[in-house]
Structure 1
Amino acid sequence: MKSPVLIIDDDVELCVELAEALEANNMSADTAHTGTDGFNRCMSRKYDAVILDIKLPDMSGIEVFKKIRSSRKEQKIIIITASTVQIKLEGKESDLDLVRKQADAFLAKPFAIPALINLLIQ
């Protein structure tokens, strides 16, 4: 059996929707709703991929991304975000550029779930 996918997003409804879509495609999912919980889960077991939101309640997804990359350089990470404009307004454009270069994929919300599934299968 393949390792599960970790979904790190504070939107509980989206996490449920994504987990159901993954299960319908013979994948399993774990979820975390804070950056701290997501990072700790990622360090405690192997995941085929991490789906990571940029906006989290306790730390930015960019910070979580950097922490995961520093510990697990080969971890597949797909970034999802509601607004790249909002990130630029917060003065994090250079961090966003770093994430875009180093992430395995970058999807703007709303995104088509089949497109995300295809990224996970690749």
Structure 2
Amino acid sequence: MRILIIEDELDLLRDLSHGLELKGYAVDQAKTGSVGFQMAMDEDYDLIVLDLNLPGMSGLEVLSRLRTEKPEIKILILSANHHLETKLTGFELGASDYLTKPFHFEELEARIRVLLNRKFIQQ
């Protein structure tokens, strides 16, 4: 399973990547929205973990553009933004799930597992 993490907090990006790799996932990283969007367009990922507050292109813009170009990709928003309006906007734009920071890695991994299982059940 291939996962792309688009996150600008370098320590979190490193920790997420390491943790998911230990669980057996192949993980790629992007530190900006624009780089992450291009990587998602160029490669086939099973799931994207997407921060919202990104340099280059906002996470909501990445989400909106990916839904237009690659509607089948599962996208889990991982954000410090707890506002209901932002969560609802994320879902309206096509987010598969939304998890707020701080979070427990075990919960993130469980949500990823569920999303990936749904993807393969639907195929």
Instruction: Determine the structure 2 residue equivalent to 1:100.
Output: 91
Percent identity of equivalent pairs: 35
Q: Find runs of 4+ consecutive structure 1 residues off by over 6 angstroms.
A: none
Identify if the C-alpha distance between structure 1 residues 96 and 117 changes in structure 2 by more than 3 Å, giving closer, same or farther: closer
Of 40, 43, 54, the match for 1:45: 43
Q: TM (normalized to structure 1)?
A: 0.86
Instruction: Determine the structure 1 residue equivalent to 2:102.
Output: 110
Unpaired segments of 5 or more residues in structure 1?
none
Counterparts of 2:57 and 2:43, CA distance in 1: 21
**Cα-Cα RMSD:** 1.5
Matched position secondary structure for 2:102: coil
Task: Give 1:25 shift.
Answer: 0.5
Amino acid at match of 1:23: E
Counterparts of 1:96 and 1:120, CA distance in 2: 18
Unpaired segments of 5 or more residues in structure 2?
115-123
Matches within 5 A, 1:71-86: 71-85=69-83
Task: Give 1:100 shift.
Answer: 2.4
Q: TM (normalized to structure 2)?
A: 0.85
- Count of aligned positions: 113
